[in-house]
Amino acid sequence: MKKVFVATDFSAVAKNAVVYAAEIAKQFNSSLSIIHIYESPLFYTAEMPYTAIEAAEKMAKADADQKMEKLYQDIVKLYPEIKISAITKRGVSADSISEAADAEGADLLISGSTGAGVVERTLIGSTTTALINKTKCMVLIVPEKAKFTGIKSLVYATDLNEKNIESANSLLPIAHSSNAELIFLFVDNKIHTDSEKISEEMAEKIRSHVKYAKTSGYVCTDPDIMNGISLFIHKKKADLVAMVTHRRSFPRMLWDKSLTKKFSYHPEIPLLVIHAAE
């Protein structure tokens, strides 16, 4: 992982995400780019004089540049060993952030989220959802109170689809760098299924598609998938939970608000979204 991007709107939540991103960049010896996209502060009309439009644009840019400079200096002071750059530009937030990250070949894009409902309040109908759908690289969603203390336990919530399991290879650079345990989790929401057979099938697919020594697989039974994930990551004291999305389509189970609320019980757990193997 060479290039880490982090989006900011200069809020406290975003500032925490920037610090988290700096810790990630430090661990992986990566560069860090902090990006802020500002939008036009006015709705223009045909009657509006050009001078007023120009003045408003200049004011918006100056305000964004000033805030970015302060944030940049603060982070450089805290992390002098990291190569840090700052990007401030006008545009549409998610589109412009994704375009910049893709153009620079970002390996990871980080965004902050509110703690009261990690997925529901931040992902559903939000800029973060758009970032996940539009950006080519992995997207890490950092809750407002999350602190980076290393990654010892990485839980990958998966189904038994081979492509889904194969997608876990995207996580190996993170697992290798941290010497973390990569834990595959399948939540079986059916009744009276053969859990032993499912476990054997899962283990065989992991061995076939993922070459990493510190792997383990668990099958949990819970009629509510998100509740099962939440209970498991709490029991395992996971540092990071990862899920997969197919290109341009966020995981269906996260669109279901009743399921989403279950996952939001754990606002301290950062969520890493990876794209399915093509």
Structure pTM? Answer: 0.84
Domains annotated on the chain, with CATH: 3-143 (3.40.50.620), 153-275 (3.40.50.620)
Task: Tell me the pLDDT band of 261, cut-offs 50, 70 and 90.
Answer: very low
Task: Tell me the pLDDT band of 119, cut-offs 50, 70 and 90.
Answer: very low
Q: Give, as one character, the DSSP assignment of residue 270.
A: -
Q: Are strands 84-90 and 215-221 parallel, antiparallel or unpaired?
A: unpaired
Beta carbons of 134 and 127 less than 8 angstroms apart: no
Of residues 51 and 238, more confidence is placed in 238
CA–CA distance, 100 with 35 (Å, rounded to integer)? 9
pLDDT at 257: 45
Q: Residue 5, Cα to own-chain centre: how many angstroms? A: 11
Residue 197 has pLDDT above 90, yes or no: no
Q: What is the pLDDT of residues 76-99, one digit of tens each?
A: 999 999 999 999 998 878 889 999
Look up residue 142 and give its two tokens.
Answer: 């950092």
Q: What is the pLDDT of residues 134-153, one digit of tens each?
A: 888 999 988 888 899 999 99
Of residues 139 and 266, more confidence is placed in 139
Q: Which residues of 109-131 are buried (b: 16+ CB within 10 A; e: fewer)?
A: bbbbbbbebbbbbbbbebbbbbb
pLDDT at 273: 87
Averaged pLDDT score across all residues of the chain: 83
